[in-house]
Chain A
C-alpha cells in the first residue's frame, strides 16, 4: 500500500478537494483505495456521503478494543473505502502523545489494511501537529496544494524547515498550484514564475495547475468527486492530470 497525504500547513487551500479527487482518480484507474479522513471536520467523509463515526471509534481503537478494519465504510464506488472522521484527529493526537513511538503506532494502526488497498489517501487537517508529524514519517508522498500567494508560499518554506529539523522519514514532498485564478495578477505572476523556474522553491512543483473552478465548489452540493458529475469539466481534467503525476511520484498502479 502506498500512502499519499494531502497536506498543507495552511487551511482552506484545497487539501480535501485534492484528497477526494485524487482518490477517485486512482480508483477509476483500477486501484483499490482507502481515504482516511484525518480532519475532525469530516469534509472528506461528507463528500463521500459517509456519516462520521458517532460511536467514538477512535477511543476504542486507541485502547486496542477495535480493529481498524471494522471502522472502514464502503463508498459508493466499489473498491474505494473511507475511514471516516471522528476516528478523530483530536483523539489521535492525544493517543500519539501518550505513545512512546508515535509514528510506529500509526504504522501499526494501518497495518491490517495494508494488504487490502493499493493506495491510502490521507486528508489531513492544517497545521503542524503530532499527527501531521506522524504522517510525514508514514507517507510515501506529501502532496501540498499551494495557492499562488506570498503567504501560502511562505508556509512551504516553513514546512521545508520543519522537515529538515525533524526526523521526517522518507516522504517525497511535492507542492502543486491550487485554486489558481488567472484573473488575479499576483496568481498569474507567481504561477508563471514558479513553473518556468524563475522562482526558487524548497520543493519541485508538480506541473499540473488546478485552477479556481466552480465545479470544485459544486462538490459540496453533489457530494461526489468532480469526475462523477462533471467528467468533461476542466476541473476533472486537472485532477486526472494531477493523479498521473502523483502516481509517477509514488509508484504503483
Chain B
C-alpha cells in the first residue's frame, strides 16, 4: 500500500493551442440570438434601445441592471472565390482589423465600466499578433475554424499565399486553384453591455452593432463601388449556466425589437457573422457572384427601356470579366464572360418584340461571334478542371496514364486562349462593345421602334415566360424511355431559354416565388446538362484520341481514355434513367399552378 509521492512531471498533453484562435474565440463569441434594433423617429436609436432594455430587465425578478462595457470598431474584408467556394463549404474568410478605436481603450471601456466584469479585461497586454489584424476563417455557425496573423493590406490572392500549415492546407483543399477575390468590405462599430445580477455578476451580454458594407462593382476590380448601411442589430450573448436570465433577456429584447429575431437554436439559417446582411445590403448573393443576375425592374416600365436596363447590366458583366478573361487567372472569369454573352443573345431573342429589328439582327450575329471565339478555350478549361474527377473515376494506375492527355489539353488551351485574346484585341470586338453601348443609350433615351416597345415589361415578360414554360412542358411530356437522345438535347435548350426568361424577369415576381421557380427548373436542367456533357465529352475523347494516338508511346493513355469514355457512357445512361423523375418533379401540380398564377395571360 505504501507509495512515495510521484515527483516526475507528467508529459505535456495536447499541443499548445493557437493563441490567435483563443483570442479570436473570446473576441468574437457566438451570439445566442440576434435582433434588429428597433427604429424610432426614422433612425435606428441605439441609446433609446438600451434604455428600454434597461427598464425591461429592471422589472424582472430578480431585477437586473445594464452596464456599458466597451466600444470597438472593426473592418472586415471578406474574400471568396468567384463561385463562392468558401461560402459553399460553410464559412467565410476575411481579413479583420481594428478600425478607429484602439484596442486598449476597448478593453478599458468607458468611465462607468467595471473592468472586473468585462470579459476582455486584463488582455490588453497580449501580443500584437493576438490583437490583429488577422485572416480569419469562420464557420456559418460562428465558430472560428482557423486564423493567422495577416497584415491589414490586401487579402491573400490564393490559398497558397498563406503561411504553410493546417490552415493553408484546409483552405487550399477547398479553393485551389481558384483566386480569392474581394467579396464585400464591412466596417462595423460595436458597443458591448453587461446585464448584471445582484452579485455584480454579468449574466448576459449584449452587443449592439451598426456598420456599412461596400463592394467593388466587379470582382475583377472594375470601376466603381456600391455601399450601404447595415440595419443595426443586437446580439444577445449567453454566459454559461445563466439560462433563466438569458431567456428573460431574450424575451425582453424580442418584445422591443421590430423583428422576431434570429436564434442559433431556433433558426438553422442564422449566420452570426456579418457577411450575409452585408451582401444583402450591397445586393450581392453569398455563395458566389457568377450565377448572380438580378436586375431591378419596375413592373410597369416600358419594355424597351427595361430591356436597355437588362442589357446594360449584362454589358457591365462582360466588361468586368474581361480583364480576368484576358489574364486567364481563373477559368471562372471566362465562364462569366460567356454567361453574360449568352444571356445577351438570349435576351435579344426574348425581347425582340420590344427592340428595333435591325439592332436585334446585327447584335445577335456579333454576340454569336463572341460566343464562338470564346467557346474552345472554355471547353478546354472544363476538361482541365475535370482532370481530377477523370482520374478519380479510374483505378489509380490507370488514372496516372492520363498525364499526356492533360499535357495535350494544356497546350491546346494555351493556344485557344491566345486566339481568344487576339479576338478581344480586334477592332471588331471594340466596335461591338462601343456600338452596343450606343444602341442601348439610344433605346433608353428615345425608345425603340418596335411593336411591343411601349408594353409594360411585366406583361411582355409574363407572356414570354408563359410561352417558354409551355414549350418545355410540351416537349418534355412526349419524351419516353425510347425517345432518341436528340429530343432531350432539344428540351435542354428549351429549358435553358425558360431559365433565361425567369432570370431576366426575376424582380417581377416575389423573391420566394422566383427562388421556387428557378429551383424546380434547376433540378431538370442539371439532369439534362449532365446528360449532354457526358455525350459531348465522349465525342471529345474520340477527337483527342485521334491526336494523341499519333505518338506510339501514348498507347497506355489511349487505353485509359477508352476506359474513361466507358465511364462517361455509364454516367450518361444513369442520367437518362433519372430523367423521368426529374421531369415529373418539374411537371408537378404545384409547380404548374405557380406558373399559371404568375404568368398565364388573362385573355
Contacts and interface: CB of A to CB of B under 8 A. Distances in A.
B577 interface: no
A194 to B, nearest CB: 17
A51 B116 contact: no
Contacts of A169: 6
A71 interface: yes
B10 to A, nearest CB: 5
Contact of B119 (A77, A248, A250): A77
B457 to A, nearest CB: 53
Interface string A101-128: 0000000000000000010000000000
Contacts of B115: 228-229
A48 B116 CA distance: 9
Given A171-B6, A231-B125, A30 B19 contact: yes
B122 interface: yes
Interface stretch (A92-100, A157-165, A208-216): A157-165
A117 to B, nearest CB: 11
Given A72-B240, A172-B10, A253 B118 contact: no
Contacts of A70: 241
B242 A49 contact: no
B237 to A, nearest CB: 9
Interface in A171-191: 171-173
Interface string A2-26: 1000000000000000000000100
B304 to A, nearest CB: 59
A170 interface: yes
Interface stretch (B197-205, B498-506, B509-517): B197-205
A222 interface: yes
Contacts of B153: none
Nearest to A73: B241
A249 interface: yes
Interface string B1-27: 111111111111110110100110110
Nearest to A80: B119
A252 to B, nearest CB: 5
Contacts of B3: 164, 167-168
B1 A165 contact: yes
Nearest to B23: A30
B9 A251 contact: yes
Given A74-B241, A166-B1, A228 B9 contact: no
B121 interface: yes
A24 B115 CA distance: 14
Contacts of B16: 253
Nearest to B238: A74
B243 to A, nearest CB: 9
Given A28-B123, A253-B17, A49 B201 contact: yes
A77 B7 CA distance: 33
SS of B interface (majority) = loop
B241 A231 contact: no
Contacts of B201: 48-51, 76
Interface residues of B, number: 42
B82 to A, nearest CB: 36
Contacts of A173: 5, 7
A28 B122 contact: yes
A231 B5 contact: no
B80 to A, nearest CB: 29
B105 to A, nearest CB: 16
Contact of B10 (A50, A165, A250): A250
Interface in A209-253: 222-224, 227-229, 231, 248-253
A160 B123 contact: no
Nearest to B123: A28
B393 interface: no
A164 B119 contact: no
Interface string B162-202: 00000000000000000000000000000000100101111
Contacts of A140: 10
Given A50-B199, A51-B201, A223-B116, A74 B240 contact: yes
Contact of A249 (B9, B22, B118): B9
B199 A51 contact: yes
B45 to A, nearest CB: 28
B5 A248 contact: no
B190 to A, nearest CB: 15
Contacts of A65: none
A30 B2 contact: no
B480 interface: no
A171 B116 CA distance: 33
Contacts of A71: 241
B116 A252 contact: no
A249 B344 CA distance: 71
A30 B12 CA distance: 16
A31 B13 CA distance: 13
A40 interface: no
B601 interface: no
A231 B6 contact: no
B298 interface: no
Interface string A73-95: 11011110100000000000000
A204 B117 CA distance: 37
B23 A171 contact: no
B17 A164 contact: no
Contacts of A172: 5-10
Interface in B69-108: none
A221 B3 CA distance: 43
A167 B29 CA distance: 43
Contacts of B9: 172, 248-251
Contacts of A118: 14, 17
A252 B23 CA distance: 17
B239 interface: yes
A71 B7 CA distance: 33
Contacts of A227: 122
A228 B121 contact: yes
Nearest to A219: B116
A71 B242 CA distance: 10
A252 B241 contact: no
B13 A228 contact: no
Nearest to A169: B6
Name, among A77, A204, A228, A231, the residue most crowded by chain B CB atoms within 10 Å (CB to CB): A77
A102 B1 CA distance: 16
Contacts of A48: 201
16 contacts: A28-B122, A28-B123, A30-B23, A49-B201, A74-B239, A76-B202, A78-B119, A79-B26, A81-B240, A163-B5, A167-B1, A231-B125, A248-B9, A249-B9, A250-B10, A251-B12
Given A74-B240, A223-B200, 19 more contacts: A24-B122, A51-B197, A71-B241, A73-B239, A73-B242, A164-B2, A164-B4, A164-B5, A166-B1, A168-B5, A170-B10, A204-B7, A223-B199, A224-B116, A228-B115, A229-B115, A229-B116, A250-B10, A251-B12
Shortest 6 CB-CB contacts between residues of A and residues of B: A74-B240, A73-B241, A224-B116, A49-B201, A30-B22, A251-B12
